[in-house]
Amino acid sequence: MPASFELARLAGALGAELRGLDLSAPLDASTVAAVRAAWLEHQVLVFRDQRLDAAAFMAFARRMGEPVEYPFVKGLPGWPEIIEVKKLEHERTNFGGIWHTDTSYLERPPSATLLLARELPPYGGDTEFASGYVAWETLSEGLRRTLAPLRAIASSAKADVSKTREDRLRTDGRDEAPRSYETAHPVARTHPETGRVALYVNVAHTVRFDGWTEAESEPLLRMLHAHQVRAEHTCRLRWAPGTLALWDNRCVLHNPVNDYHGHRRVMHRITLAGDLPR
């Protein structure tokens, strides 16, 4: 029998807080299956008050999937799949500080991201999430027909997102990291486990529609990006030490809010191997 836990929804579109599990303890297969089912349903799961060292954090991640390394930043010593997502007191730009899905410029973007709070500012530093499912389902039928056959080009080199990596590349960058990645993915992505369709573009990485120019693509992409993050499509997480968030990178966008200048924020992140978007 799976261990018992409770779920409290964060918002109408997505997100739930899962209460009653100690992730540092061994989880049996039935409990892991129940957690996965809750995650697939709610898209973002939040676990509070988790006392996880690197080994326990990695052990839980491995129960959920296959951890993979981030291409641009080195992992922690002895833990190459765990990177520090941090902003230091003197820095003004936060890492990944723009609405995005993680590394959508890869041929097989991660299926999931796990983010664990280590050090937090005295205020601010929340993370917003948005549902790609709800974004797709609330478009008009006519626009969905137009978008359904399209693919979009994603790049790691767009200026706004590249700027958010500069501090970490200076301090923690990989010597062997390539300069950029670029690939094409479906605009309407069908989730391989739920079968639901998500609007799979994001302002950080999507450059244009495949076969279209950037000038032709820009007006429609601008409209889609604004639609994705309408308030009713989102939830917001206020972090506390020991908070762990697990989100489905195949159907969720996120945005770390940069409102705590002069203070330190340190998180540990693991991403899990994904499939080829279809």
- Say what the pLDDT of residue 172 is: 74
Catalytic-role residue among 42, 102, 185, 248:
102
- Measured distance CA(135)–CA(6) in Å, rounded: 27
255 or 166: which leads in pLDDT: 255
Six-digit token pair at 19? 């209460």
In this prediction, residue 180 carries a pLDDT of 86
Extended strands (E) in 149-258 = 151-155, 182-186, 188-190, 197-199, 206-209, 234-237, 244-248, 252-256
Q: Which among 42, 100, 208, 250 is annotated as catalytic?
A: 100
Main-chain phi, psi angles of 228, to 5 degrees: -55, -35
Residue from 168, 225, 254, 268 carrying the catalytic annotation: 254
Structure confidence by residue, pLDDT tens digits, 81-123: 999 999 999 999 998 999 999 999 999 999 999 999 999 999 9
Q: How many CB atoms lie within 10 A of CB 69?
A: 15
**pLDDT greater at residue 166 or residue 238:** 238
Verify whether residue 269 is a known catalytic residue. Answer: yes
Q: What is the pLDDT of residue 167?
A: 63
Condensed to tens digits (0 to 9), the pLDDT of residues 206-224 reads 999 999 999 999 999 999 9
Helix (H) or strand (E) holding 277, with range, is none
Per residue in 19-57, pLDDT tens? Answer: 999 999 999 999 999 999 999 999 999 999 999 999 999
Model confidence at 141: pLDDT above 60: yes
Active-site residue flag, 100? yes
Full set of structural domains in the chain with CATH: 6-272 (3.60.130.10)
Average pLDDT, the chain: 95
pLDDT digits (tens, 9 = 90+) for 184-205: 999 999 999 999 999 999 999 9
- Given a cut of 70, whether residue 169 has pLDDT beyond it is no
What is the reported pTM? 0.94
SS3 at position 38? helix
In the chain, % of residues over pLDDT 70: 95
User: Residue 173 above 90 pLDDT?
Assistant: no
